[in-house]
Structure 1
Amino acid sequence: MGTPLPALDLAVPLIAAPMAGGASTTALVTAAARAGGVGFVPAGYRTAADLAAAIAEVRDAGTPFGVNVFAPPPVPVDPAAFRRYADLLQPEAAAYGLSLKDAAPVEDDDHWQDKVDLLLADPVPVVSFTFGIPARSIVAALRRAGTLVWQTVTDPAEAQAAADAGVDALIVQSAAAGGHSGTLSPHRSLPDLPLTDLLAAVRARTALPMVAAGGIGTAAEVAEAGRAGAAAAVVGTVLVRTRESGAPETYRAALAEGRRDTVVTRAFTGRPARGLRNRFTDRYSEPAPLGYPALHHLTAPVRRAAAAAGDPERLHLWAGTGYRHARAEPLADTFRRLCP
């Protein structure tokens, strides 16, 4: 594998991705560590109090872990575009007895400062950031507190900016990754580079340790990432069907079918994210405006209702390109399959 990750001695070169919204349970995070890797507690869509409770639960298990935080800036939505999109989605909401008639844009920063304050007051081993690069002063403060700081990047320019901010390591994420892209430029198309080529391009820009992310589902792909310079591989979608995952059954079943292609869409949240193709992505990917978290909040009631009704056609089915390798098994078995 590539340059070792400082102060993080992994028995196996595998990291369980922070899947915000329910899949990454504390059981999944601790199972990843017990299997020789490490897991990340997702801070996304949680209050600081909820995050503190999750950290305490994982810490009580006595295993190493990290925390992933959505960093500003958000992507403001055009109010007129938001209203047009809400009106367009009304039939989907009406299918569950919901109304988007009075929906207004919710622009928030996911309790950013509260979470930074928490992580400085109660340090954790590793904090990773996605969507934005924190100020150099925040990175320095976390490092003084004894926390390693990792940054998700999707191209060499972002890698250089993260290095300039003083981070310890880079999570190099290709467009094949499931769920949200960590791109700092969500208005642009994602770089269509194979993960190994992206790792090489980033390595040419900075010597920081790299973690590979994006579509990884086999031991051969983990080994390939290592030969390209990665110290470890992040896996997410391949863990969604594991016993420890908190993913709803509708999501698990859609992955198990294995018949859908994956697409990059902003239809659900206003940011580019890769998921299984369904009726919602077919109808709304093109007209959906940029606007995160406004579109996330707009579609959330519809998505919750779809999950409760077992309807995969109106649900965000986040999935990377390697999703067909996900199996219904304990996480430890998945990690064993992925070890080169």
Structure 2
Amino acid sequence: MNPLMQRLGLRVPIVQAPMAGGPSTPELAAAVSQAGGLGSLGAAYLTPAQLREAAGAVRRLTDRPFALNLFVPEPRPAVTEEEVAAAVADLVPLHAELELPPPALPERVREDFEAQFEAVLEVKPAVFSFAFGRLGRPEMAALQAAGTLVIGTATGVEEARALAADGVDAVVAQGGAAGGHRGGWGQDELADTLALTRAVAEAVALPVIAAGGLMNAADVRAALDAGASLVQCGTAFLRATEAGTSAPYRSALAAAQPGATTLTRAFSGRLARGLANRVTAEVGRPLPYPLQNGLTRPLRTAAASAGRAEFLSLWAGEGAHRGREGKAAEILGDLWPE
């Protein structure tokens, strides 16, 4: 057992990745934490009230530590009318198939980060993790003063060094095989997960959490041997009973073959890995994040209701074809049979 596991009281060196937008549920986070790992709530798309409610639900299910995750915001990107028109035009035929009105860019495209952060401080989770940027020093200090361990996300060594200089307590090293959004903000190395883990462990004097394509016990052991203190798994939990993964999403994952994922900006405007489908193939002129995310939300919502996986953001890592269904505790047991 390493110092990070001891500090968090973990029996299993596994973090359930924060998968915002549906798969992340209080039931999933609580089940993983109760079984000895670190469950996470992906709260980036939650209102402050929803964040408090979700955290309260976790605490009603377990007294074990858990993590909350948010996306660090950047200024709203400026776009031209022509860029908006092109992004809308890509989506018009897809909307028509689902009998939706023509797409329109909403005024509100993300939650208020400052208000979300205030809710996090009220909740006082054992861990706060963040992605898409660097957390301000005042925010970091406030979390640590409250006893919350702070974890940043890096996709390369220089990002990891920057996070270490900022004062985080640990760094997620997100390899190129990881599902979902790329969590960095600078030079994304899209590196092999084990190679990146070794490089980050050598570059910073902090605990490293390996993430990306890690789906079984052999993968977990290899990441720990590469210098990780913990291993973060997301795709492995997408088909857990407690996950909020929609039925069409689950079916697509169950049918996934090797090489089924792609990197795309089509859904959100930010590079992310998921199963290839019609949207990843046909949407070629997305707006920057978070504008595209707001623009495609009605399509994704309608597609989930209609069971149309070809229009969903099917975030998944390169190991998606190696996933399984089952209780979260069973999946955790497969990842760490010791």
Matched, 1:144 2:141: no
Q: Secondary structure of 2:229's partner? A: strand
Residues 236 and 77 (structure 1), Cα distance of their counterparts in 2 relative to 1, 3 Å cut? farther
Q: Secondary structure of 2:7's partner? A: coil
- Could you state the TM-score of these two structures normalised by the residue count of structure 1? 0.93
- Could you state the TM-score of these two structures normalised by the residue count of structure 2? 0.94
Q: Which residue of 1 aligns with 2:245?
A: 247
Contact 1:66-1:126 at 8 Å conserved across structures: yes
Q: How many residues align?
A: 334
Q: CA deviation at 1:203?
A: 1.8
Contact 1:171-1:211 at 8 Å conserved across structures: yes
Q: CA deviation at 1:81?
A: 1.3
Q: CA deviation at 1:200?
A: 1.6
1:184-213 residue CA offsets vs partner (Å, 9 max, x unmatched): 13xx6x423211110122122211101111
State the distance in 2 between where 1:166 and 1:5 align.
19
State the distance in 2 between where 1:199 and 1:111 align.
33
Q: How does 1:155-304 map to 2 (within 5 A)?
A: 155-185=156-186, 190-259=188-257, 261-284=260-283, 286-289=284-287, 291-304=288-301
1:2-23 residue CA offsets vs partner (Å, 9 max, x unmatched): 7635621211111111111111
| 106-115 or 65-74, which deviates more | 106-115
Q: CA deviation at 1:140?
A: 0.9
State the distance in 2 between where 1:161 and 1:5 align.
24
1:89-146 residue CA offsets vs partner (Å, 9 max, x unmatched): 1111111222335x23546552200111122233111100111111111101110111
1:124-169 residue CA offsets vs partner (Å, 9 max, x unmatched): 1110011111111110111011111110111111111111111100
Contact 2:180-2:316 at 8 Å conserved across structures: yes
Q: How does 1:58-207 map to 2 (within 5 A)?
A: 58-61=58-61, 62-73=63-74, 76-79=77-80, 80-100=82-102, 103-104=104-105, 106=107, 108-185=109-186, 190-207=188-205
State the distance in 2 between where 1:192 and 1:13 align.
24
Contact 2:5-2:13 at 8 Å conserved across structures: no
State the distance in 2 between where 1:77 and 1:282 align.
25
Identical columns (%)? 40
Over aligned residue pairs, what C-alpha RMSD do you find?
Answer: 1.8
Contact 1:107-1:293 at 8 Å conserved across structures: no
State the distance in 1 between where 2:325 and 2:75 align.
35
**Aligned counterpart in structure 2 of residue 325 of structure 1, from 315, 322, 325:** 322
Contact 2:90-2:282 at 8 Å conserved across structures: no
State the distance in 1 between where 2:319 and 2:130 align.
23
State the distance in 1 between where 2:59 and 2:247 align.
28
State the distance in 2 between where 1:149 and 1:292 align.
24
Q: Secondary structure of 2:102's partner? A: coil
Contact 2:179-2:315 at 8 Å conserved across structures: yes
Residues 215 and 171 (structure 1), Cα distance of their counterparts in 2 relative to 1, 3 Å cut? same
Q: Structure 2: any 5+ residue segments left out of the alignment? A: none
